Structure 1
């Protein structure tokens, strides 16, 4: 099973030459990037899970409604929000969607599993930092979903052969043929492959002069759209199963 997921987060990078980009402009960039992702998913009739950063959720209600209407899952991405902020946002989001938010993803700032269970989340999908040195780490990790404190803990996927993780950076830098082979070989051994990308990776950095490392600009924007499109074409050609996170877990 392929679990395709996207983190909806604003780009936080500074700009060059003192150029100011407002929070509203950053939000507009995020929305445009997500709508590009949705168009690609629609073309290939593939459903995904979108993890929306808690602090911008209420500012993106129309976008979130559109994502949900198209049959995709809405979950949360916690950057640095506290328990009360998450609880309030969860209630408001569930009210306007008329659906339960089951999942949450965390990276640097992690709340306890007990706290998350108290907010009636059903699963946690934590991720690690990824940078240019990350591919050189050899990781040994359990890749099976386990139950703890009444929560399903979903680990990051790692290729059992190359030991490369399926994070945002790896998708951006690896040649698509190599990436496809990695997915195919992993599915022979593991029950699922969890893939995640960030909305900011789809930014056109030739238009917006952000201070982003060169290795992060490579294969970004339209090139990343084309890469995602190529992956979904391959998934359908190989008749590989895909699922939203909540459906697969429950």
Structure 2
């Protein structure tokens, strides 16, 4: 093992004890000797052998205290410590506190945080894609609806798209193509770069007060009317 003073990442005493306990148990495991909990406590008291005392457990588990009435017994803490070390921090059973993982295995906490961060990023990206698809669907729906709109009802159509949150830039091209179908509609206005509400306001009577003859002609230019006319 790299000496602590030469390591690139500072190792705290609890983390060092856990790592050394794992190494020691793995080395002796084939001979059926003591479990992780004993090795851990031994490391924390300076590799000295001897009977496990309440003081040893208190040193290893910060929330262990014999003075508290009804406190969990020492054996439960020992079993929990054994599981904690054996799982390298993946499992932290009661009665250990949650900080035991960061105390002994800070790298596990870091990896968990990284996984949660990646999971959040993945979820956010999924939500962005779903939002984008919904928006694209709304734009496509606006274009379908526009095909059945005459100049007289264009402003009503536009206000509906505003409520849907569709940007003017995504409506300009379709409006320019739409306007070319109708007599007397100045399509150049849609390419002026002004907000569409301002363009529609400027066009004013050109759209809403068209002569009756032009209104009848407008109706004939709608897709369903063209289809019926061909029949």
State the TM-score, normalizing by the size of structure 1: 0.19
The structure in which a higher percent of residues are helix is 2
Q: Which of 1 and 2 has greater Rg?
A: 2
The structure in which a higher percent of residues are strand is 1
Q: Return the structure number with greater relative CO, CA threshold 8 A, min gap 6.
A: 1
